[in-house]
């Protein structure tokens, strides 16, 4: 069973009280992976939020989906970080693939439906979790904008 002490250090749950964390704990399942194991594939139905318990996770696009056949620059998720937030956004599909990036890893899997039930019973939990997820998405969007601006700047400079 996932400890309340661990859950209270997960950014997305940091503002929850012990009763609220206990409700999350009841639907949390730990899953083990080894290096290179795929946690989920880009395009799969997104039915879970994931939290890294131990190790690292790499998120990336699959090579066949981009011009020229190359994958995107990967992003890495480490201990106590959540990913898979697209399970709350239509069309409910993962936009990236997730792989275990360390020799071994353990992630917490939380079923979307279980979380939605908790949110329905305690709107404060739903608000706090969604507030965190929206801020995380906003941060990722800003990082993407910066990356695009940087790439375009380099492209413009190389054409001079």
Query: pLDDT digit string (tens) for 135-155?
Result: 877 887 787 788 788 878 877
What is the residue range of 139's domain?
Answer: 4-158
Name beta bridge partners: 110: 28, 49
d(CA 154, CA 138): 24
Residue 138 confidence (pLDDT): 83
d(CA 91, CA 131): 20
What are the residues whose beta carbons fall under 8 Å from the beta carbon of 49, sequence distance 6 or more?
A: 82, 83, 84, 85, 87, 88, 110, 112, 115
At 15-51, the pLDDT tens digits run 899 999 999 999 999 999 999 999 999 999 999 999 9
Q: How many structural domains compose the chain?
A: 1
Lowest mean pLDDT among 25-29, 74-78, 89-93: 74-78
Q: Which two tokens stand for residue 139?
A: 């941060």
**Mean pLDDT value of segment 43-62:** 94
CATH of the domain at 142: 2.60.120.10
Spatial contact of 108 and 30, defined as CB atoms under 8 Å apart: yes
The reply to whether the predicted model has a pTM over 0.75 is yes
């Amino acid at each position: 069973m996932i400890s309340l002490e661990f859950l209270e250090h997960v950014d997305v749950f940091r503002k929850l009280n012990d009763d609220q964390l206990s409700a999350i704990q009841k639907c949390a399942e730990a899953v083990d992976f080894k290096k290179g194991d795929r946690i989920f594939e880009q395009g799969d139905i997104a039915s879970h939020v994931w939290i890294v318990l131990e190790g690292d996770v790499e998120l990336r696009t699959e090579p066949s989906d981009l011009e020229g056949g190359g994958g995107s620059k990967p992003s890495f998720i480490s201990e106590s970080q959540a990913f898979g937030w697209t399970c709350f956004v239509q069309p409910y599909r993962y936009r990236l693939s997730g792989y275990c990036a360390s020799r071994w890893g353990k992630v917490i899997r939380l079923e979307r439906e279980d979380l939605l039930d908790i949110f329905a019973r305690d709107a404060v939990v739903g608000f706090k979790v969604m507030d965190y997820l929206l801020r995380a998405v906003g941060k990722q969007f800003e990082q993407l904008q910066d990356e695009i601006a940087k790439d375009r700047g380099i492209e413009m400079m190389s054409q001079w």
